[in-house]
Chain A
Amino acid sequence: MNTRRLAVRLLRRGALIWAALIAVVLFAGAEAYRAAYPLAADRARLIATLGSSRGLDALYGRGTNIGTPGGFVAWRYGSTVATVVALWALLAVTRIMRGDEESGRNEILMASVPGPRDLLDRQILVFVGAAVVVGAGATVGCLAGGLGWAGALTYGGMLAAGAALFGALAAVTSQLAASRRRAASSAGIVLGASYLIRAIADASSDRRWLAWVSPLGWVEHLDAYGHPRTGDVVVAALAIVVSSVLLFGLAGVLRARRDAGAGFYESAGSTRPPRPLHSLRGLDWRLNAGGLVGWTAGVGVVGLVLGFIAADIAKYVADSNNIRSTLAHVAGTSVATIKGFLGLSFSVIAVVVSVYAGTQIIAARTQEESGRVDALLTSGAARLAWLATRIAVAIGVLVAVTVAGGFAAWAGVRLSGQSIGLVDCVKGAVSTVPLAVLFLGLTTLAFGVAPRLTTLVAFGAVALSYAILLIGGLAQAPQWVLDISPFSHLAPVPAVPADVTTMAALAGVGALGVLAGGWVFNRRDVAVE
């Protein structure tokens, strides 16, 4: 297999899945818009409510043409999809450009091509191809939704360009950092900052120019299905293309100047003296510290944005009977108040912390697979002590992260000029912890019984549960189907008081999973791959 085919194989599945997913979302969005707002009068009312919402502008970007299906879809999904695709791009690029190098998997490859730059060039080419495939998914979705050729092509090009730009950024950080995790988080910080800057620019009336500072702002200026200004489009497109080319070029230059496996960050900081490290807890804390900052920041941003838009959404829902009835089916709680909206949308935080819980057990599995845990276990650490430490640290982080999320939501509400109780907000966010403990338990059970399935269960269980809730809700499925999903049992605190019994039950099931998984783990082979 040559190096190009290998890169193709590594990227193919992800690119096709995202392309298909985006196509379905856009198609469904166009259909839903036509169903919800069939008449010109409906659309005029929509413009009147949404056109003046600062919160929604921050969340989705400025819609210049939401009175048409294309303009609405491009606005409603444009920013979110562009951000998700950028995230895919930086994860995919750091995986092929740094992850495989870090694990030593591509050492043979590097020796088999004329040089490391050659390998990098091929990877870049294949990645840009994958970005085009993802963009094409959007084009197909728009066309299937009957939204018109010109906008479909612009939208597809916009996504591909955004992906290429963040991929190029990740190609540079993959040269700078010696670990994939660090390469991805460095690029992720830039993505997060781009999102925040774009959100601030779109929410304010006098700081619109800020959008030009953010790469996501450039993408937004391409304005598919909107009323684009030719000058803006040309400048934005040029900015994206030129910076992508420059970044890819820079990656090549940096690659040529470093050794295989080395980075540029590390050499600078390596004079710091070693710190004492005496216990498993110290080890887990050390391995988690970087992640803790990232997860806290991520959940904090989510909380801040949710809080900031809460009042606007509540007003919008109060004005729109159609949406109110749909959402009522999902949760049975009115979204027409700030507390109601926050209570429901904290389920987003629930998803994030549930995924975090899973990653902690995945990390345990990685330690096992790499043989690192052998050194601990043969040095006298008991298996259960090792696993329990990891789980205890994970639960501690869960609480810390959700407290931060609740605090950020409170700050967001205050920023938007409204008020809400701080304790209410924090309670609401922290009430998602038992749900995360449930997924922690499920993943621990998988880790004990079928360790190879740990990653699949960690992410699959959360995705499946959330999908049952969303799709079941929209399809008006019977309650027992919805009840299968643990997310259905999440009370929308602070709109309603915390349901201690249910929370205890969720956490209890999680605890059983942890105990059973730990029991089996203590008795099975520790397997090195």
Chain B
Amino acid sequence: MPSAPSAASPGASGAPPAIVTEGLTKRFGDFTALDDLSITVAPGDVYGFLGPNGAGKTTAIRMLLGLARPTRGRARIFGCDVATDRRGALAHIAHVPGEFNAWPTLRGAEMLDLLGSLRGGYDAKRRDELSERFEFDPSKRGREYSKGNRQKIALIAAYMMDPDLLVLDEPTTGLDPLMEVVFRDCVEDARRRGQTVFISSHILSEVEALCDRVAILRSGRLVDVGTLEDLRAINTRDVHVSFKRIPVADLGTVPGVEQLAVDGLDATFRLRGEPTPLLHALSGESVHSIDIREPSLEELFLAFYRDDAPKETGAS
């Protein structure tokens, strides 16, 4: 496509993806903070960016925002290359940092006014609506706000702009559980409005509750990426079976069963892959109850980070 000035990788519809990174790498001296990150976030996605502290999430986000320069690779926001068209890229983004450092002498309302005006104006009604929703008092000075309240300034400033892409870096830090609910509602609103949301987090329940797709990052490297379903499918389930009589079949030989523990009539084990062989094995037994639990994202996360190698996918 010689006529297209931006070299965005064309999606099926032709519209550029909200975020594309190609081999995004950042080194600080010998230390590699982010190594060869390539992800694509489609418009309208609520995308989770998951990893423990120090995994490189914030480093990646700072490069998306043009605050840091990649050592290698590049990032595009709705087709705008961040390196060559920083302003164009930022025009699509509203960013909420992990910790918003408020100006100690400015009032909340003044900070919102300033941040909104820098973007070329904002909807005062929407600001007031959001302030009310977050129960935020804009009349105090920056130094008088608690950490959670400072975080609300950043959240309100981001949401009131109605941006194409919300980049949220551990956004609920310091918010109390009630406000977390409000925050989640706001993400759902954004989803309904067709906005793209990119959330970095080490809080799994948050991502689990909100995101359609997840990228998992560890020590600067992308470990896996997929939908929540994908991630769950490749992983394990915890199974508990109560028998009425001592079973005839040896569950330990069933493909996919691991860490089997039998205590009288109770068997607890972990099942990897599809459950058909297990169901076959159980079909002749007298089963009192069976409990198959999907692992929480927390457990999934631990499974990823226990082994060094990236997970092999699908049934083995």
Query: Does A287 lie within 8 Å of B105, measured CB to CB?
Result: yes
**A374 to B114 CA separation, bound complex (whole angstroms):** 13
**A378 to B89 CA separation, bound complex (whole angstroms):** 10
**A286 to B104 CA separation, bound complex (whole angstroms):** 12
Known: A372-B101, A374-B97. A379 touches B68 (CB 8 A): no
Q: Which of B117-125, B194-202, B292-300 contacts A (4 or more CB under 8 A)?
A: B117-125
**Chain A residue contacts of B94, Cβ below 8 A:** 378
Chain A residue nearest to B28 in the complex (CB):
A525
Given A266-B143, A286-B106, 5 more contacts at CB 8 Å? A178-B143, A279-B118, A379-B115, A380-B118, A525-B62
- Which of A278, A372, A374, A523 contacts B67 (CB under 8 A)? A374
B90 within 8 Å of A by Cβ? Answer: yes
Type the 1/0 row for A346-385, where 1 means its CB is closer than 8 Å to any CB of B: 0000000000000000000000001110111111111000
A400 within 8 Å of B by Cβ? Answer: no
Type the 1/0 row for A269-304, where 1 means its CB is closer than 8 Å to any CB of B: 010011111111011001100000000000000000
Query: Does B141 lie within 8 Å of A370, measured CB to CB?
Result: no
Known: A274-B109, A381-B118. A526 touches B97 (CB 8 A): no
- Which of A277, A280, A375 contacts B110 (CB under 8 A)? A277
**Chain B residue contacts of A286, Cβ below 8 A:** 105-106, 110
B296 to chain A, nearest CB (A): 32
9 contacts across the A-B interface (CB closer than 8 A):
A273-B139, A274-B110, A274-B138, A276-B113, A282-B114, A286-B106, A374-B97, A379-B157, A381-B118
The secondary-structure label for the interface of chain A is loop
Q: Which of A261, A273, A277, A523 has the most CB of B within 10 A?
A: A277
Type the 1/0 row for A77-93, where 1 means its CB is closer than 8 Å to any CB of B: 00000000000000000
**Chain A residue contacts of B156, Cβ below 8 A:** none
**A286 to B141 CA separation, bound complex (whole angstroms):** 13
Chain B residue nearest to A375 in the complex (CB):
B115
B91 within 8 Å of A by Cβ? Answer: yes
**Chain B residue contacts of A525, Cβ below 8 A:** 62, 67-69
A105 within 8 Å of B by Cβ? Answer: no
B187 within 8 Å of A by Cβ? Answer: no
**Chain B residue contacts of A523, Cβ below 8 A:** 69
**Chain A residue contacts of B90, Cβ below 8 A:** 377-378, 380
**Chain B residue contacts of A266, Cβ below 8 A:** 141, 143-144
Known: A371-B101, A374-B67, A380-B120. A277 touches B106 (CB 8 A): yes
- What 7 A-B pairs are tightest by C-beta distance, nearest first? A274-B109, A278-B117, A525-B68, A378-B95, A379-B118, A274-B107, A526-B67
Query: Does A277 lie within 8 Å of B113, measured CB to CB?
Result: yes
B154 within 8 Å of A by Cβ? Answer: yes
**A261 to B69 CA separation, bound complex (whole angstroms):** 36
Chain B residue nearest to A369 in the complex (CB):
B101
**A102 to B114 CA separation, bound complex (whole angstroms):** 24
Type the 1/0 row for B81-106, where 1 means its CB is closer than 8 Å to any CB of A: 00000010011011101011111111
Chain B positions near chain A (C-beta within 8 angstroms)? 62, 65-69, 87, 90-91, 93-95, 97, 99-111, 113-120, 138-141, 143-144, 154, 157
Query: Does B67 lie within 8 Å of A274, measured CB to CB?
Result: no
B263 to chain A, nearest CB (A): 46
A207 within 8 Å of B by Cβ? Answer: no
**A375 to B140 CA separation, bound complex (whole angstroms):** 19
A444 within 8 Å of B by Cβ? Answer: no
**Chain A residue contacts of B157, Cβ below 8 A:** 375, 379
**A113 to B87 CA separation, bound complex (whole angstroms):** 50
- Which of A261, A274, A276, A375 contacts B100 (CB under 8 A)? A375
Chain A residue nearest to B100 in the complex (CB):
A375
A244 within 8 Å of B by Cβ? Answer: no
**Chain B residue contacts of A382, Cβ below 8 A:** 87
A275 to chain B, nearest CB (A): 7
**Chain A residue contacts of B99, Cβ below 8 A:** 371
B47 to chain A, nearest CB (A): 18
Chain A residue nearest to B147 in the complex (CB):
A104
Q: Which of A102, A376, A381 has the most CB of B within 10 A?
A: A381
Cross-chain pair count, CB within 8 angstroms: 98
Query: Does A270 lie within 8 Å of B144, measured CB to CB?
Result: yes
- Which of B66, B69, B109, B119 contacts A379 (CB under 8 A)? B119
**Chain B residue contacts of A102, Cβ below 8 A:** 104, 143
A529 to chain B, nearest CB (A): 11
A185 to chain B, nearest CB (A): 13
**Chain A residue contacts of B91, Cβ below 8 A:** 380
A179 within 8 Å of B by Cβ? Answer: yes
**Chain B residue contacts of A178, Cβ below 8 A:** 143
Please provide the chain A residues from 473 to 529 with a CB less than 8 Å away from any CB of chain B in the complex. 523-526
**A179 to B67 CA separation, bound complex (whole angstroms):** 29
**Chain A residue contacts of B144, Cβ below 8 A:** 266, 270
Query: Does A179 lie within 8 Å of B95, measured CB to CB?
Result: no
A265 to chain B, nearest CB (A): 11
**Chain A residue contacts of B114, Cβ below 8 A:** 277-279, 282-283, 376
Q: Which of B87, B105, B114, B119 has the most CB of A within 10 A?
A: B114
- Which of A274, A280, A370, A379 contacts B101 (CB under 8 A)? A370
Known: A377-B67, A381-B118, A525-B68. A287 touches B113 (CB 8 A): no
B144 to chain A, nearest CB (A): 7
**Chain A residue contacts of B143, Cβ below 8 A:** 102, 178-179, 261, 266
**Chain A residue contacts of B69, Cβ below 8 A:** 523-525
**Chain B residue contacts of A276, Cβ below 8 A:** 110, 113
**A375 to B169 CA separation, bound complex (whole angstroms):** 13
A34 to chain B, nearest CB (A): 53
**Chain B residue contacts of A371, Cβ below 8 A:** 97, 99-101
**A279 to B115 CA separation, bound complex (whole angstroms):** 9
B102 to chain A, nearest CB (A): 8
B99 to chain A, nearest CB (A): 7
B153 to chain A, nearest CB (A): 9
- Which of B103, B107, B117 contacts A372 (CB under 8 A)? B103
**A377 to B66 CA separation, bound complex (whole angstroms):** 9
Chain B residue nearest to A386 in the complex (CB):
B118
**A122 to B67 CA separation, bound complex (whole angstroms):** 42
Known: A372-B103, A382-B87. A277 touches B117 (CB 8 A): yes
Chain B residue nearest to A104 in the complex (CB):
B147
